[in-house]
Structure 1
């Protein structure tokens, strides 16, 4: 991981900040729009983004839209046709065409959320193209993204163009295969050092996990991690415990409401071990949480798509931006502390002891099921072996 200097990174909290920024960037596009996402829906938010992409294509902008075949598999034929007829180049990563649910490759999803406009305005984060409020009365899904300009956009362009070429070739869209992107050197627009860190099944299998581990192992003061689906492997748990034992303040902000029950119950099997070691665990209860961010020692931050679970760490294609900057870390840290204070419930040893026996058994059963699923698919034997 090489941190590139002189970027300008803006934190975007929830869809209320992300979608206006993305739509404004698309409206300003002059020659290219690249967009990758796991979930693209046909709700009001999805239709608004689709309209913006179609408008860009109509004025001659090349629009490349890459969606995951499972996460966005529910898009209707009519919706897809409207995009294609408007000139949007639409591809699906690993379309869901098989009937056997336990195929190894079925778990290899495109889970990252990236956008790049004119090669100069990038977006990295965890926010899908979906309305982040299930109803007007509910709070928005707690999530983050960043908007970035500067030299790191060259790495975003390289990553997105490589995936596009590979997917186009596999699906025989040879007229959509473009030569590797060669952008001119990006202007130095700010003072933040940043690096795009990706996870794939090639040379970058462990890059995101290793970025976290390196930062935690070097932490001297504080670790704050907010992650919606948290089921860390042995190395990650040991790094958290070791940090707490050497006096580092370690706080985990995790999903409190059941969303993906299997992963969340499996995660709770580690609560007693971590809390007893001095790790503070806070469950987010105000609404649904989708964040995948961290702040370490008031200067190292990451915002991205990667959960800390076996599917994100070992299988899916993910992308996080790592930022080293005191000012950015301060902004993210303050927002996390506010949510911890106002929307969180801390998990204590007494609370864990008082929970009914079934709640203590369910995490063990869920963890065994996750291990079995990963084993059937051929993943995770080492990372999740005690």
Structure 2
């Protein structure tokens, strides 16, 4: 499946669940034909319940609905939650579900990490926000800082094509994550110009598009001449990305990284800090966001290029998971994203001084050496990890007398 730059798009940056969830619900309420959703996490909290209620109302109007969730991120969905949707014909697919081993989820690699919503092939959403309450500020100190983008215009055709191929593998000529779509996929998708932004839908899969997102990052970093600002939750990029970030700072680009200061997973902060000295000694500014966990995956270069999506700059996202980003060339969007990120820098981040990193470097140097060689060779090693063919299964609810009383997971079966 090939994707192309599309002109004439209208883009709205959405920050956190407070902006994202109402926009999605509004689009669902206006749906006439079809709703396609892919998400890594769907929880049975107030956000998941609100989404379920909106989808049920749409299904009752006759809208076709397919939801795809990841078998690792959404492993605990129950029949009580699923049944009201499946009973109305909503199809809920699970990507690569696996039985727990010793109470632990074992499907760690090659996960469906994309976050996509497409409504009637006319409006789409892409970003890093899952359907869970921890993307709302009232969740407390663990509430995540994140971003998404609402899209209208010709690039929605490409997003729709991929989302439809996900749930229609039997009608494609290749594996579903890189397949061609059934002929009528875009029958009612007009691709009409809605704005002035130029955009490209970019995916990472384990078939035809293994390095596409990383390559776009690399090109943007190499082309940067004035400023480079990256906000990324799990920062442990490949050796090529690290080298180009350092080279950009060396040639006079103001390079600023916003990384986790209050991480939801401490190992992410520990890993990123192994790279600080390598970057900072050539002038890269590193700021840690300390108000709450950072979950964003956004970046901008100079005054036109920017990206929003699901891909972290870490080995899982760049070498294993299924991801998607929107790459944008638009001055207005770039300026708006810069304003939002600069607000974080001014009020909720602390800049890490080089002197602090130099202190104690003697014990970190061996770990940093290991990290660099790990990053240099990880893409090759990733190809040696279990290369099973992940399956998409359709959730079916077991027949029980009182479904609300059971906490067991829905019974999945392979898609026909």
What is the TM-score when the length of structure 1 is the normalising length?
A: 0.89
SS at structure 2 position matched to 1:352: helix
Q: State the match for 2:232 in structure 1.
A: 227
SS at structure 2 position matched to 1:338: helix
Offset of residue 186 of structure 1: 1.4
Q: Take 2:139 and 2:267, find their aligned partners in 1: how far apart are those partners?
A: 28
**Structure 1 segment 51-70 matched on structure 2, within 5 A:** 51-70=53-72
Of 170, 185, 205 in structure 2, the residue corresponding to residue 181 of structure 1 is: 185
Offset of residue 136 of structure 1: 5.1
Matched-pair contact (CA < 8 Å) for 2:128–2:297: yes
Matched, 1:280 2:285: yes
Count of residue pairs the alignment pairs up:
372
Per-residue CA shift, 1:61-86, capped at 9, x if unaligned? 00100000110111112212222113
Alpha-carbon distance change, 275 to 222 in structure 1, aligned in 2, over 3 angstroms? same
**Structure 1 segment 188-267 matched on structure 2, within 5 A:** 188-267=193-272
Offset of residue 279 of structure 1: 0.7
Per-residue CA shift, 1:171-218, capped at 9, x if unaligned? xxxxxx976512443110000001110000111000000010011111
What is the TM-score when the length of structure 2 is the normalising length?
A: 0.83
Alpha-carbon distance change, 318 to 142 in structure 1, aligned in 2, over 3 angstroms? same
Q: Take 1:331 and 1:118, find their aligned partners in 2: how far apart are those partners?
A: 27
Q: State the match for 2:163 in structure 1.
A: 160
Alpha-carbon distance change, 358 to 7 in structure 1, aligned in 2, over 3 angstroms? same
SS at structure 1 position matched to 2:168: helix
Alpha-carbon distance change, 148 to 376 in structure 1, aligned in 2, over 3 angstroms? closer
Q: Decide which moves more: 355-364 or 42-51.
A: 355-364
Of 148, 167, 170 in structure 2, the residue corresponding to residue 145 of structure 1 is: 148
Alpha-carbon distance change, 280 to 167 in structure 1, aligned in 2, over 3 angstroms? farther
SS at structure 2 position matched to 1:154: helix
Q: Take 1:75 and 1:353, find their aligned partners in 2: how far apart are those partners?
A: 47
Q: Take 2:237 and 2:275, find their aligned partners in 1: how far apart are those partners?
A: 9
Q: State the match for 1:322 in structure 2.
A: 327
Q: State the match for 1:87 in structure 2.
A: 89
CA RMSD between the two structures: 2.8
Alpha-carbon distance change, 340 to 374 in structure 1, aligned in 2, over 3 angstroms? farther
Offset of residue 99 of structure 1: 3.6
Q: State the match for 1:269 in structure 2.
A: 274
Q: State the match for 1:332 in structure 2.
A: 337
Alpha-carbon distance change, 39 to 248 in structure 1, aligned in 2, over 3 angstroms? same
Matched-pair contact (CA < 8 Å) for 2:249–2:255: yes
Matched-pair contact (CA < 8 Å) for 1:258–1:264: yes
Q: State the match for 1:23 in structure 2.
A: 25
Matched-pair contact (CA < 8 Å) for 2:42–2:73: yes
SS at structure 2 position matched to 1:337: helix
Q: State the match for 2:356 in structure 1.
A: 351
Q: Take 1:102 and 1:58, find their aligned partners in 2: how far apart are those partners?
A: 35
SS at structure 2 position matched to 1:9: strand
Alpha-carbon distance change, 167 to 272 in structure 1, aligned in 2, over 3 angstroms? farther
Offset of residue 96 of structure 1: 1.9
Q: State the match for 1:173 in structure 2.
A: none
SS at structure 2 position matched to 1:231: coil
Task: Could you tell me which runs of 5 or more consecutive residues in structure 1 were left unpaired when the two chains were aligned.
Answer: 171-176, 380-386
Matched, 1:32 2:38: no
Alpha-carbon distance change, 198 to 58 in structure 1, aligned in 2, over 3 angstroms? same
Per-residue CA shift, 1:119-172, capped at 9, x if unaligned? 1010011000011147555484210001110000100011111111238999xx
Q: Take 1:279 and 1:322, find their aligned partners in 2: how far apart are those partners?
A: 23
Matched-pair contact (CA < 8 Å) for 1:3–1:194: yes
Matched-pair contact (CA < 8 Å) for 1:197–1:207: yes
SS at structure 2 position matched to 1:316: coil
Offset of residue 31 of structure 1: 0.8
Alpha-carbon distance change, 373 to 71 in structure 1, aligned in 2, over 3 angstroms? farther
Matched-pair contact (CA < 8 Å) for 1:140–1:288: yes
